Amino acid sequence: MTAPRIEACGLTRLFSGGAGVRGVDFDVIAGEIHALVGLNGAGKTTLMRLLLGMLRPTSGAVRIDGRPLRTADWSTVGHLVETPLAYGELDGRANLMLAARLHGADANRAARMVDDVLTELNLAQYAAVRARRMSLGNRQRLGLAAALQHHPRVVVLDEPTNALDPAGVILLREALVRRAADGAGVLVSSHHLDEVARVAHRITVINAGRVIGTLDPRGVDIERSFFALVHADDTHRDRSPL
């Protein structure tokens, strides 16, 4: 059996008002793209924050490549949650160099990584452009490059296609397929079944902070299946005593 790159057991973290995640068991296997889909506010970002140590769970635990978060090898993790790691006063290349250094690369290796990812994500023309002058989509692409350039074994991307144009979506999809083929475990979230969710090996549906089922990525009408799952869960909760 393939070892999980990410493993979460019984993860719970609730906020005032009832939002959050409740008792989530979840994993991402090496070599797979795992899509997490749910409506806005379903708990996708909270779950990703818990997986990356941005939030501490009230119960449950996370392991990255078999190790608890406290001792995880973070140089093998790449992520983009909500905001790209891009500083407006720095140009594309400088931003990527900083991200590479922060992921443990020395200056020489970082320079090579940056050259490669600029080509891979078609960002070369923005290498000398300050991030504050880039469009939203190009800033997102820069953030994705920062998350992927060190070829991490664990990739976590929250709504990665936000603001991307169709060409950007295809470049991202191909980059993720390459990372997974090299053995990375890739987790992407989406609030709709977009192009990235469609290249997933597994699709997990989250609703109201709980994992409520899975979808077959090769299914003929996965949108219909998705809404059927969510509707059934909402109906079940409405009928259940609090």
Site residues, other proteins (CB under 8 A): 15, 49, 52-56, 73-75, 77, 79-90, 94, 97-99, 101-104, 143, 146, 156
In the complex, least distance from residue 86 CB atom to other proteins, rounded to whole angstroms: 7
In the complex, least distance from residue 224 CB atom to other proteins, rounded to whole angstroms: 34
CA 208 to chain centre: 19
In the complex, least distance from residue 183 CB atom to other proteins, rounded to whole angstroms: 19
Residue whose CB is less far from other proteins, 74 or 124: 74
Q: What are phi and psi of 126, to 5 degrees?
A: -105, 10
Distances in Å between the Cα of 93 and the Cα atoms of 39, 111, 168 are 35, 9, 18
Q: Which of 21, 24, 44, 18 is nearest to 242 (CA)?
A: 18
Residue whose CB is less far from other proteins, 54 or 167: 54
Residue whose CB is less far from other proteins, 107 or 242: 107
Residue whose CB is less far from other proteins, 9 or 90: 90
In the complex, least distance from residue 20 CB atom to other proteins, rounded to whole angstroms: 10
Q: Which residues contact 35 (CB under 8 A, 6 or more apart)?
A: 187, 188, 189, 190, 196, 197, 200, 202, 203, 204, 217
Q: Which of 180, 183, 111, 181 is nearest to 149 (CA)?
A: 111
